[in-house]
């Protein structure tokens, strides 16, 4: 996509292609094999016990004869983009420069396709290094509408996949995210609000608000990612895309009466037309 030998400067190519310069120039920072193994284990523990913060993770790892300080665990958690799913202090305060929108899903009956979409980002381990996976999920059907594997946590990636979802599936009533910087950035919020779609944001660290996406991450990691050792970003992209195609169209979903997400999504679309 980017031709580094072209006479047109790389920055201009990135602007024309509407991709961030950060992702073009990004060079993975070397991470020790010990830290990569530790991050993998932290990720596994976070999926099983999302309430665990750095101190509890330190104690749990010590039981496994893995001795590491809580400060180092906290540093790795921030690098991975995860935090303990528990009420945090100062949740009513917006991040500097970024507006936090109210949570709109409490007591809302979600019964239609394209009624509520959820976005979230998760850490994906590779053989050497790691990447981030962001997905758009239709909440009623659990169907993964669009997704992207990227090497950085930037708003441009979230904007790209929500715009792709709009183009392919139309407009939902509500888009729900967490308070991650990529979702509170104006580049993303403007892309949603400019379409007349309401924006909802989870309480910071509140597990109840994003539990349906957390279940998706558990599925994709235990059924695919942890079984692989991706040796490149390209390999991760291809394999995860294959998984989501299978997840949507062939994998019966226990919470959907053993029906696939695509079947449920298509069945629930007529209800959206009737409600309009």
170-226 residue pLDDT tens: 999 999 998 888 999 999 999 999 999 999 998 765 555 567 788 899 999 999 999
Q: What is the pLDDT of residue 157?
A: 94
Domain ranges of the chain: 10-80, 116-275
- CA nearest to 85, candidates 124, 56, 114: 56
pLDDT in the model for residue 207: 53
pLDDT at residue 205 in the model = 56
Sheet holding 116-125, edge to edge: 143-150, 130-138, 116-125, 174-177, 198-201
> What's the rounded Cα separation, in Å, for the pair 141 and 118?
11
pLDDT number for residue 82: 84
Give me the pLDDT at residue 89, please.
44
Q: For the whole model, what pTM was predicted?
A: 0.78
Q: Which residues, 6+ apart, have CB-to-CB distance to 249 below 8 Å?
A: 260, 262
Based on C-alpha coordinates, what's the Rg of the chain? Answer: 19
**b/e burial code for range 100-131 (CB count within 10 A of at least 16 → b):** bbeeebeeeebebbbbbbbbbbbbbbbeebbb
Q: Tell me if 23 sits within 8 A of 182, measured CB to CB.
A: no
Residue 84: the pLDDT is 82
Q: Looking at domain 116-275, which CATH architecture does it have? A: 2-Layer Sandwich (3.30)
Give the residue from 210, 178, 173 showing the smallest Cα distance to 193: 173
**Residues in the chain where the model's pLDDT stays below 50:** 25-27, 89-94, 272-276
Condensed to tens digits (0 to 9), the pLDDT of residues 96-118 reads: 567 889 999 988 999 999 999 99
- What integer pLDDT is reported at residue 86 of this predicted model? 60
Please name which of 90, 86, 61, 91 lies closest in space to residue 73, comparing C-alpha atoms.
61
């Amino acid at each position: 996509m980017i031709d580094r030998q072209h006479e047109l400067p790389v920055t201009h190519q990135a602007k024309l292609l509407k991709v961030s310069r950060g992702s073009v120039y990004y060079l993975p920072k070397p991470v020790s094999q010990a830290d990569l193994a530790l991050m993998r284990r932290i990720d596994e523990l976070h999926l099983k016990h999302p309430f665990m913060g750095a101190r509890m993770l330190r104690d749990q790892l010590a039981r496994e004869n893995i001795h590491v300080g809580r400060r180092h665990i906290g540093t790795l958690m921030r690098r991975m983009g995860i935090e303990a799913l528990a009420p945090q202090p100062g949740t009513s305060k917006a991040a500097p420069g970024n507006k936090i929108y109210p949570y709109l899903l409490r007591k809302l009956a979600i019964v239609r396709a394209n009624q509520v979409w959820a976005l979230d980002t998760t850490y994906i381990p590779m053989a050497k290094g790691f990447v981030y996976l962001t997905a758009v999920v239709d909440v009623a059907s659990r169907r993964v509408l669009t997704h992207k594997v990227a090497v950085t946590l930037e708003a441009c990636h979230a904007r790209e996949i929500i715009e792709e979802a709009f183009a392919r599936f139309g407009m939902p009533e509500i888009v729900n995210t967490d308070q991650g910087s990529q979702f509170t950035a104006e580049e993303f919020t403007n892309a949603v609000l400019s379409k007349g779609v309401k924006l909802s944001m989870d309480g910071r660290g509140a597990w109840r608000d994003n539990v349906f996406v957390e279940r998706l991450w558990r599925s994709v990691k235990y059924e695919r990612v942890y079984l692989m050792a991706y040796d490149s970003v390209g390999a991760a992209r291809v394999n995860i895309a294959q998984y989501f195609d299978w997840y949507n169209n062939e994998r019966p979903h226990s919470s959907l009466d053993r029906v696939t997400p695509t079947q449920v999504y298509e069945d629930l679309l007529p209800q959206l037309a009737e409600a309009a």
